[in-house]
């Protein structure tokens, strides 16, 4: 997972000084190739597949077919963008719904070329990884903003 809110992110200190919060856009790469991306994205029920990341809806999309579609795979790789990278912009959806949605998509989408189930199948519904906790924090940030927005109306 690539998210500047994670203390282990290479640019965490810069982000911490520049931002009052870490925001709701994160990226993650799946194992496998682009076929894995094509199998994974339709499994998401809450995220809209889109090229933009600035909406109230949760959106997801790979740079390979959105922001960097005109770059070759070699150019994307040189820029540090794996072919299986997904950008995920958290909208105003319920954080628990988004986490559950990502979890079920990871469970249903085994690694490309594998006859075995995804290792995510072993996750307990009650367990939350540190990355899921950060996703939940991002979701809550956006939920709080949505509540503020609704109160301004």
Q: Is residue 125 part of a domain?
A: yes
- pLDDT number for residue 44: 92
Q: Is residue 21 part of a domain?
A: yes
Please compute the mean of the pLDDT values over residues 7-22 and round it to a whole number. Answer: 87
Using DSSP, state whether 86 is helix, strand or coil.
strand
In 3D space, the residue among 153, 148, 145 whose CA is nearest the CA of residue 56 turns out to be 145
Sign of CA dihedral 76, 133, 120, 106: negative
Q: Domain of 118: which CATH number? A: 3.90.1150.10
What span, in angstroms and rounded, lies between the C-alpha atoms of 88 and 92? 13
- pLDDT number for residue 43: 92
Range(s) of the domain holding residue 68? 12-152
What span, in angstroms and rounded, lies between the C-alpha atoms of 91 and 149? 13
What span, in angstroms and rounded, lies between the C-alpha atoms of 134 and 120? 18
- pLDDT number for residue 115: 54
Q: What are the structure tokens assigned to 47, written together?
A: 């995220």
Q: Is residue 110 part of a domain?
A: yes
Instruction: Give the confidence band of 110 by pLDDT, cuts at 50, 70, 90.
Output: low
What share of the chain has pLDDT > 70, as a percent?
70
- pLDDT number for residue 121: 35
Instruction: Give the confidence band of 45 by pLDDT, cuts at 50, 70, 90.
Output: very high
pTM for this predicted structure = 0.67
Please give the tally of structural domains in the chain: 1
Query: Which segments of the chain are extended strands (E)?
Result: 25-29, 48-49, 59-61, 85-89
Q: What are the structure tokens assigned to 42, written together?
A: 């339709």
Q: Is residue 6 part of a domain?
A: no
Backbone phi, then psi, for 70, in 5-degree steps? -85, -5
Per-residue H/E/C for 63-85: HHHCCCCCCCHHHHHHCCCCCCE
Please compute the mean of the pLDDT values over residues 10-19 and round it to a whole number. Answer: 89
Lowest pLDDT segment from 89-98, 102-111, 117-126: 117-126
Q: Is residue 79 part of a domain?
A: yes
Q: Is residue 88 part of a domain?
A: yes
Q: Is residue 5 part of a domain?
A: no
Question: For the segment 53-106, what is each residue's pLDDT rounded down to a tens digit?
Answer: 777 889 998 888 888 888 888 998 898 888 888 989 999 999 899 999 999 998
Tell whether the model's pLDDT for residue 6 goes beyond 90: no
Q: How many helices (H) and strands (E) does the chain have?
A: 5, 4
Q: Is residue 4 part of a domain?
A: no
């Amino acid at each position: 997972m690539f998210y500047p809110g994670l203390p282990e992110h290479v640019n965490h200190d810069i982000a911490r000084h520049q931002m009052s919060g870490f925001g709701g856009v994160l990226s993650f790469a799946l194992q496998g190739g682009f076929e894995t991306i094509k199998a994974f994205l339709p499994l998401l029920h809450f995220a809209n597949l889109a090229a933009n990341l600035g909406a109230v809806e949760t959106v997801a999309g790979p740079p390979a077919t959105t922001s960097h579609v005109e770059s070759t795979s070699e150019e994307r790789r040189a820029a540090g963008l794996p072919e299986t990278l997904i950008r995920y912009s958290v909208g105003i959806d319920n954080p628990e719904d988004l986490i559950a949605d990502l979890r079920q998509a990871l469970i249903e989408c085994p690694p490309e070329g594998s006859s075995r189930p995804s290792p995510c199948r072993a996750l307990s519904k009650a367990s939350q990884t540190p990355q899921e906790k950060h996703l939940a924090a991002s979701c809550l940030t956006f939920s709080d903003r949505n509540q503020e927005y609704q109160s301004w109306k």
